[in-house]
Amino acid sequence: MKKIGIMNSNISARVADMGHMDWLAVGDAGTPVPEGVDKIDLSVKSGTPSFMEVLDVILLELEVQKIYLAEEIKVNNPDVLEQINRRFDGDVSIEFISHNDLKKNIKKSKAFIRTGETTPYANIILESGVIF
């Protein structure tokens, strides 16, 4: 049994499978997941687990070079945006796109991880980097 890091075997396998520039999406409980995308559903109840809890664990193991966020998060969920900015602290490129484009781009991701988050626009696409 793993002692640290990602305990969920499906998420752990997806992160281990990531190559340079592959995408992994994490989002709130209401995000529509396109047909054919591997959906890893972690939602237990409203708010559990939170978007940030899940993101924090993923960031322990995944090298990220760029993130994609919905432009709408700036106005509609500035608290989550501030938390995301603190996690990346200017070390990662951030691209803001429309929420509709973000939802469409989920289909390019290796997987979508659904959290129990119930605040608006708590969605992110992580682009993997390299450690060398």
Catalytic residues: 20
d(CA 50, CA 118): 8
Residue 121 labeled ligand binder:
yes
Strands 112-114 and 124-128 come out as unpaired
Tell me: is residue 28 an annotated ligand-binding position: yes
Question: Is 43 in contact with 34 (CB distance < 8 Å)?
Answer: no
- Was 56 annotated as part of a binding site? no
Amino acid at 67: I
Whether the Cβ atoms of residue 42 and residue 115 lie closer than 8 Å to each other: yes
Torsion of CA 125, 42, 34, 123, to 10 degrees: -30
Query: Are 51 and 117 a contacting pair, CB within 8 Å?
Result: yes
Annotated binding residue 123:
yes
The response to whether 13 counts as a known ligand-binding position is no
**Residue list, annotated binding site for substrate:** 28, 99, 121-123
**Residue list, annotated binding site:** 28, 99, 121-123
